[in-house]
Amino acid sequence: MKETDAGDHVPLERPQGNVGKPGGKLLKGAAILGAAAVLSKLLGTLQKIPLQNVAGDTAFGIYNAVYPLYILILFAATAGFPVAVSKFVAEQAIQGEHEEAKRIVRVSSALLLGTGFVLFLLLYGGAGEIAHWIGISKTESAIRSVSFALLLSPVLAVLRGYFQGYQNMVPTAVSQVIEQLIRVMTMVALLLYMVALAYEEEWIAAGATFGSVTGAAAGLIVMYVYWRKAMRSERDERAGLGVGAGAGASASASASARTRTSQQTVNSLVAARLTSWQCMKRITAYAIPVCLGAIVVPLLTLVDTFTMPRLLEAAQGSEGEAMRQFGLYNRGLPLIQLVVMIASSMSAVLVPAMAEAKAKGELEVLRFRAEMAVRLSWLIGLGASFGLAFAAVPINVMLYKSDEASWTMAVLAFTALFSTLNAVSASVLQGAGAIHTPAKALLVAILLKALGNVVLMPRWGIDGAALSAVIAYAAAAGLNLVQLRRSTGARFALRPYAVSPALGVGLMGGCLAALQLLAMPAVAAWHVPERLSASAIALVCVVGGAAVYGLALLRSGGISPAELRLMPELDRKLAPVLAKLWPAKTAVGPRERR
């Protein structure tokens, strides 16, 4: 049993080595949660590739039509509640009101269970009507399959919020990773089973979406185990304090209680006056704005679900061919999401860094950090976009067995640039205090995407949809950057954003084109299987293209080694090499050496 102050009923194990260092604990928790989020997003992004490989583009298209709808409903129902629950639990925990913190969990769970059950009934019972709205009847089974997750995910969100309120991020991190692992394993197992038994594409897609149900169940089991452990720890501590504390512990308890009386009395009285209904209203009022902000991103993805299948069916004259085309369009999205996830990982440190500079009134540092974040995201997104576009054919064959829709993938690749800019600039704006601009920018993007699909798809099909996506994300990123310039005074000069990157992209494109042209005769002469040769070419293109682009930027002054050292991970891994190549380039931005 761990030592505690008498009378301090903490339902979580006390952290060892961090006592008195809440900042260190918070940073460690954020790092754990960030790593888990990256891993779970990576699993979620890459799971789509085996689905297309085994089931084909039609099942892939059905899955991609249904899953964004589920994410939208899930976000609308639960997205703000982990934040709200963690806030109110933290307030009670600080005052020692741990029983009240648990009551918040019970009230929130009852509220979200009711909400989830209603949404489940609407989604399950209305699956046929929703499929009609989408324009593809084959989506009905997948909609019903994924609806069961709404019975489990709400309580999972509440329990995550509870532990986060105590700054214990480990349960959330573990449950996120387990949830994604079970989801992927379920999808692959059902996929192989149903394909072996020759199920129709709509049932195969339904099996793939059912992974969300088993994943949510696994995540909920993990959180319940942590909850039981916390409750058992609390009971053990109470029993220990009651049996063996002695007179010394009693005196300590009295002193501890006296020091906290003035703080607890007010909160206890307020808590006592709050009925469960009042508590529910407070939590809901706090959560709703967060939910509304969270659903903007899924809404942008959902535009394709409710416009593309109808437009494709009108053009192709066949529901099956429409879903196959929709599957072809979605081939490039996992790669783009992966690029955005990697490039925008810097967002985790941007918000506090910007907020700190703003709070201290260090306007020059605020401006410099904003410029640096935007420039790095621009350079990374630009290189990734052109790299994916130049190597679209071998990458397409490597991942999806054929080169169909490679041009669509090449066009869609440029959403990686603008999505990265959008994500990073949104984080910078949040740190600078302009919290509403990113949501407004995405709403504009939603309108442009819908309009672009309607105007461009009848002429160019899925290529038109890809072009409308580029336009929509470019508009959102542009609006963010305009507001960022107003909020921080950031300046975006021509040379670091256009001249040097253009040189790097040109060299990279030339090398990748030459590599593919030279590799084709060799592959034909050696009779290497197409997919194996495409995989080798694609991997060489990725590594070689990144190296050429990076060296071109460094040599042309697009970015200096000293600026790269401002990123801790790059400093640790690359600074020794860069110091040998460019020992004289040591200038850094204003006041960043401190």
Of the given ranges (244-248, 432-436, 546-550), which has the lowest mean pLDDT?
244-248
Average pLDDT, the chain: 79
Q: What is the mean pLDDT of residues 418-445?
A: 83
The values of phi and psi at residue 408, to 5°, are -60, -45
Return the domain boundaries, the chain: 23-237+260-294, 329-559
pLDDT surpassing 80 at residue 217: yes
Q: What is the mean pLDDT of residues 507-527?
A: 84
Q: Percentage of the chain with pLDDT > 70?
A: 77
Of the given ranges (3-7, 509-513, 539-543), which has the lowest mean pLDDT?
3-7
CA angle, 115 as apex, 91 and 232 as ends, to 5°? Answer: 50
Q: What is the mean pLDDT of residues 345-367?
A: 67
- The answer to whether residues 368 and 589 touch, using CB atoms and an 8 Å cutoff, is yes
Per the model's pLDDT, the better-predicted residue between 35 and 406 turns out to be 406
Instruction: Report the predicted TM-score, pTM, of the whole model to 2 decimal places.
Output: 0.75
- The answer to whether residues 169 and 30 touch, using CB atoms and an 8 Å cutoff, is yes
pLDDT surpassing 70 at residue 424: yes
What pLDDT, on a 0 to 100 scale, did the predictor assign at position 349?
A: 54
What pLDDT, on a 0 to 100 scale, did the predictor assign at position 572?
A: 58
Query: C-alpha 421: how far from its chain's center?
Result: 15
Question: How far apart are the C-alpha atoms of 306 and 391, rounded to whole Å?
Answer: 30
Per the model's pLDDT, the better-predicted residue between 366 and 121 turns out to be 121
Question: How far apart are the C-alpha atoms of 399 and 384, rounded to whole Å?
Answer: 17
What pLDDT, on a 0 to 100 scale, did the predictor assign at position 561?
A: 60
pLDDT surpassing 80 at residue 541: yes
**pLDDT band, residue 149 (cuts 50/70/90):** very high
Of the given ranges (222-236, 379-393, 502-516, 570-584), which has the lowest mean pLDDT?
570-584
pLDDT in tens, 17-37: 333 344 455 555 556 666 666
What pLDDT, on a 0 to 100 scale, did the predictor assign at position 148?
A: 94
Ramachandran region of residue 588, left (φ > 0), alpha (ψ -120 to 50) or beta?
A: beta
What pLDDT, on a 0 to 100 scale, did the predictor assign at position 571?
A: 53
Q: How far is CA 217 from CA 26, 79, 290, 323, 346, in A?
A: 28, 18, 24, 30, 31
What pLDDT, on a 0 to 100 scale, did the predictor assign at position 262?
A: 41
**pLDDT band, residue 346 (cuts 50/70/90):** low
